[in-house]
Amino acid sequence: MTVSGSYASRTKAKVVPSPDYYLQRRRQLEKSIIQKRHAISTKNNIEYIKRRWIKHCDFLGKKEYLKSLHAARKEDVMIFLEWLLHNSKIKKFSSLHENWRLWCQLYRQAVGRSLHAKSCQDINDYMNKDLVELFNLDRSVGEKPVMNVDDLYIVLHHHWTKDTTPYPDGRQIIQLAFLLLTSAYTASRPGALVYIEKNERTNVQHFFGNVNDVDVGEDDATEEWDLGDEDLKTLCYGHISLLLLPNPGSIRDHLVMEVDLRHTKGHNRKKKSKIYLMSEVKQPFFDIVALVVAMAFLDEAFESNIRSMEDIYASRVESPRHSLHLRFVKEKHNVPICRQPISTHCGISTHEIKPLKYHTYLYYLERLSLAVGMPRAMKPYDLRRGTGEAVEKTAPLPLLQQVMGHIYASTFQAYMNQRVQCHVQAAFLGIPSEDALLNILSHQSRYIDPRAPSHYEDLPATTRESLSTHPEIVSLQEMRDSLAREAKELYGSMKNAAGTKIGELKAKTEAALRCAKARLKKDTFDGARDEFFATIDTLEINRQLDPSLLDIEKQAYEPEKIVHRLNERRQVAELMQTSMQNLSGESDMAKRVTMVNALIGLGRVVKVPSERINPDKKTKCVISIDRISPPKEPPQVETEPSSSPEPRDCPISITNRHCLFCVFEPQYQCYFASPRKAREHFEKHLRKYKPTEPIPCPDEYCQLVLSGHKALKRHAEDVHHVRYFTEAQRIQAGF
């Protein structure tokens, strides 16, 4: 095709509409309402308040919901807000104000204009005075914690060396440390690093605290994950650049990293990326480059022939080049660095593509911060506020706005520490400022106490046993038992009663019982932690001033020594505690190579088991009203080398909380929190086999091959005394 022909084809493809088209479009635009482009979460929240408005109109007998919204006056909004308080669990004024703000967005979306300013002011006054007094709404504002480098060091030190909690695999441990360091080094919002679900139920729960009255459809089933741009708005390999910069006077070049944060707040309206530089540091806890390199090796992401850390350090920047880019293969550019653990037939493992969810990240942070001994769960914004404070002290205002992603400089006031970052007393008196004391008082580490209970099992046995005698639990158990007896009288068994009215009532009662137990456990645990931090200061002072203990030799608190049973985890913990501050070039390089290799080995571990000690047997610091007793030393027992177990003379017998497959695998969790969890996990193992495929019994003593799923379940019930899902229960559970 000639150049003139190509030009003619391009001009021919462009069709200009007729004048009638533009006149018709004008009439359409004149009647329509131009909608603002909202985020997915905002749309979900507007849909939530829309359903509340429809329920309110139904309650008042108004069937024309849209007309009622168009004709709404300030009195209608006032009674709607009062109706909300009567029909919801709103206890704080901020939650009520959030509902009022969302109603304003719904009104603008439906009517095309805002409510009159005088009406808005009257509604605000009505909320602030009448509704606050009538419903006794809580107007308190929670403290905004700030984490500095010392706080992060304590968290990372515990994460790498003392954490005994289980993980789906070793990669999740590396990912969590990477997210903590990235949050600290970029001051980014969590939405730029992990995936925030575009799910209405989770969004409403995040903003309003409960989803009891949210009617969400049943079409929320998880689908196959793909590499669509709309889904993977998170930090991927394509956003990270590993570079080698020349270092002529050393045995290796500088290894640095650039992180391009593209999916920051408002990126849908105006694309604007921020690129951060990160380099290797002497303290292993803070070395983010080693974590990225280890994860890249685990994913086989390098485009070149780099296969080890030695290959990276062996590569040099030669003239005329001024840098070398360690590129990733194109297939990995859209693959998230931090990915979600999913359940498979052989356990839980990290997905190859699915990005890590924000709520999973929050779960890891909460578990880690409670284990460290913080009074409250750590949030990603704690690090964002701490980084903002650090940047404010060293960088000019425009750079602070760029780092924090603020258009207006005044926005940073919402992130400022509530404790004034200036020693005003010293300034007035003209004496030197106590900056060290100010730094200690302003951050989270001041409250940390590792003796605080971090798990429900850490509470005294009497406290845990009192849960079974709680009136609400007893009432629900009696109702469940009476329904079960009635169902057996009418239908012979609960299996035959499935699908009937009484069977549904029993299922709902069991669900209510599980929810009540979980809620009471959480309330009991939170209350115990609150009581610990509220009384520990007074107990410490009284113990030191107790005259009966003045002559007794004081025993200093010694932290619990943790030696990980998993070799890969133990090796990483030892290397993390070794500083590289005064090492020579060769020793430094050798240490970094060993560190990355250890991280790669940890990342390949399929299951990281729990290493928690039995709370009834572990050393504890007993706290009473009068004093704090020193930890009791556990009895020293001489351990002999374990010999091989004696052969059994009968098949193994397990409880209904065990999985028959996992009980013979030491690397897997075999004991579950409830029988249902164990049964669901057993079904995941059966996915590997067809319904009629021969299945060998996991117990080698039996030496049987069963013909299919049903035969194995019958064998498990008859021989191993454990019952799993029937066919109807399996279908009802979704397997």
Q: What is the pLDDT, as a whole number, of residue 497?
A: 83
Sheet holding 240-245, edge to edge: 274-279, 254-261, 240-245, 324-326
Q: What is the CA 385 to chain-centroid distance, rounded?
A: 19
Query: Is 122 in the same domain as 200?
Result: no
> Phi/psi at 719 (nearest 5 deg)?
-100, -45
Average pLDDT over residues 135-143: 87
Residues 333/321, Cβ–Cβ less than 8 Å: no
| Per-residue pLDDT at 206 exceeds 70 | no
pLDDT at 552: 59
Q: Measuring CA to CA, how many Å separate 501 from each of 35, 146, 358, 725, 731? A: 46, 53, 39, 21, 19
pLDDT at 648: 64
Identify whether residues 187 and 89 lie together within a single domain.
no
Domain match, 116 and 168 both: no
Range 466-473, long-range pairs (CB < 8 A, 24+ positions): 467/517, 467/520, 467/521, 467/524, 470/520, 472/516, 472/520, 473/513, 473/516, 473/517, 473/520
The string over 566-598, giving b where at least 16 C-beta atoms fall within 10 Å of a residue's C-beta and e elsewhere, is bebbbbbbebbeeebeeeeeeebbebbbebbbb
Q: What is the 8-class DSSP label of residue 347?
A: E
Residues 260, 324: contact at Cβ < 8 Å?
Answer: no
Residues paired with residue 476 on neighbouring β-strands, in sequence order:
none
pLDDT value at 572 more than 90: yes
pLDDT digits (tens, 9 = 90+) for 242-256: 999 999 888 999 999
What does the block give as tokens for 437? 């004391």
pLDDT at 533: 92
Residues 103 and 239 in one domain: no
Q: Give pairs for 98-103: CB < 8 Å, separation 24+.
A: 98/207, 98/208, 99/49, 99/52, 99/208, 100/124, 100/127, 102/45, 102/46, 102/48, 102/49, 103/49, 103/53, 103/77
Are residues 156 and 75 both part of a single domain? no
Q: Are residues 295 and 402 in the same domain?
A: yes
Distance CA(123)–CA(121), nearest Å, equals 5
Q: State how far the Cα of 394 lies from the Cα of 405, in Å rounded to an integer.
A: 17
Residue 446 has what pLDDT?
Answer: 85
Which of 402, 417, 432 finishes a domain? 417
Rounded to an integer, what distance in angstroms lies between the CA atom of residue 48 and that of residue 65? Answer: 15
d(CA 443, CA 615): 30
Residue type, 382: D
> In the 8-state DSSP scheme, what is residue 663?
G
| Percentage of residues of the chain with pLDDT beyond 90 | 40
Same domain flag for 168 and 256: yes
Is the Cβ–Cβ distance between 706 and 690 less than 8 Å? no
CA–CA dist 378, 184 (Å, integer) = 13
On whether residue 326 sits in a domain, the answer given is: yes
Overall domain count for the chain: 3
Does residue 427 lie in a domain region? no
Phi, psi of 279, rounded to the nearest 5 degrees:
-130, 175
Tokens 């901020």 identify what position? 94
Which tens digit of pLDDT belongs to each residue from 317-343? Answer: 999 999 999 999 999 999 999 999 988
**Is the model's pLDDT at 186 over the cut of 90?**
yes
Q: Is the pLDDT of residue 642 over 50?
A: no
Stretch 536-552: mean pLDDT: 79
Residue pLDDT, tens place only, 655-705: 888 888 888 776 555 678 788 888 888 888 888 888 889 999 988 888 888
- What is the reported pLDDT for 212? 44
* Number of Cβ within a 10 Å radius of residue 300: 11
- Residue 126 and residue 163 in one domain: no
Compute φ and ψ for 461, nearest 5 degrees: -60, -35
**Cβ neighbours of 348 (radius 10 Å):** 19
Rounded-to-integer distance, Cα 598 and Cα 294, Å: 9
- Ramachandran category for residue 61: left, alpha or beta (phi over 0 → left; psi -120 to 50 → alpha): left
Model pTM greater than 0.95?
no
Q: Are residues 311 and 354 in the same domain?
A: yes
Average pLDDT score over residue span 29-51: 81
- Hunting for tokens 């999973």 — which residue is that? 360
pLDDT of residue 5: 53
- Taking 60 as the threshold, does the pLDDT of residue 637 lie above it? no
**Residue at 100 is within a domain:** yes
Q: Are 715 and 697 in contact (CB under 8 A)?
A: yes
What's the average model confidence in pLDDT over 290-315?
94
The answer to whether 565 touches 164, Cβ cutoff 8 Å, is no
Least trusted range by pLDDT, from 301-315, 426-440, 569-583: 426-440
Is 339 inside a domain boundary? yes
256-276 confidence digits (pLDDT tens): 999 998 887 766 667 778 899
Judge if 131 and 154 occupy the same domain: no
Residue linked to tokens 């293969």: 329
592 in any annotated domain: no
Residue with tokens 């990235």: 182
Nearest CA-CA partner of 575 in 243, 283, 314, 310: 283
The pLDDT of residue 414 is: 78
Determine which helix (DSSP H) or strand (DSSP E) holds 155, and give its type and residue range.
Answer: helix 149-157
Range of weakest confidence among 408-417, 537-546, 558-567, 710-719: 408-417
Grade residue 726 by pLDDT with cuts at 50, 70 and 90. confident
Instruction: Report pLDDT digits (tens) over 510-533.
Output: 999 999 999 999 999 999 999 999
Residues 41 and 158 in one domain: no
Rounded to the nearest 5°, which phi and psi values hold at 357? Answer: -80, 150
Q: If you average pLDDT over every residue of the chain, what do you get?
A: 83
Contact 610, 166 (CB under 8 A): yes
Nearest to 235 by CA among 206, 257, 255: 257
What share of residues in the chain are helix, strand, coil (percent, to 5)? Answer: 50, 10, 40
Amino acid letter for position 367: R
- The secondary structure element, H or E, covering residue 51 is helix 40-60
Q: Given phi > 0 = left and psi -120 to 50 = alpha, else beta, which region is 112? A: left
379 near 363, Cβ under 8 Å? no
CATH code of the domain covering residue 310 = 1.10.443.10
What is the H or E stretch that residue 475 is in?
A: helix 471-491
Has residue 77 been placed in a domain? Answer: yes
Whether the per-residue pLDDT at 469 is higher than 70: the answer is yes
Question: Mean pLDDT across the stretch 223-241?
Answer: 68
Does residue 480 form part of some domain? no
Looking at 417, 437, 464, which one is the last position of a domain? 417
> How many C-beta atoms lie closer than 10 Å to residue 697's C-beta?
19
The radius of gyration of the chain's CA atoms, rounded to the nearest angstrom, is: 31
Residues 600 and 616: their CA atoms lie apart, in Å, by 35
Average pLDDT over residues 503-510: 90
Q: Assess if residue 493 is contained within a domain.
A: no
Please identify, among 417, 452, 473, the residue that sits at the C-terminal boundary of a domain: 417
In terms of C-beta density within 10 A (0-12 exposed, 13-18 middle, 19 or more buried), how is residue 378 classed?
A: buried
Determine the Cα angle at 710 with ends 708 and 714, to 5°.
120
Q: What is the pLDDT of residue 580?
A: 84
Sequence-ordered alpha helix ranges (H) in 305-431: 309-314, 358-372, 380-394, 397-404, 424-429
Q: Does residue 183 sit in the same domain as residue 302?
A: yes
CA–CA distance, 602 with 576 (Å, rounded to integer): 13
Task: Please check whether residue 294 is in contact with residue 284, taking contact to mean a CB–CB distance below 8 angstroms.
Answer: no
User: How far is the C-alpha of 192 from the C-alpha of 196, rounded, in Å?
Assistant: 9
Q: How far apart (Å, rounded) are the C-alpha atoms in residues 177 and 157?
A: 10
Residue 459: DSSP 8-state? S
Long-range contacts of 325-330 (CB under 8 A, 24+ apart): 325/241, 325/242, 325/243, 326/242, 326/243, 326/244, 326/302, 327/302, 327/303, 328/237, 328/238, 328/240, 328/296, 328/301, 328/302, 328/303, 329/301, 329/302, 329/303, 330/303
Domain range spanning residue 680? Answer: 650-734
Taking the CA atoms of 511, 512, 513 and 519 in sequence, report the sign of the dihedral they define: positive
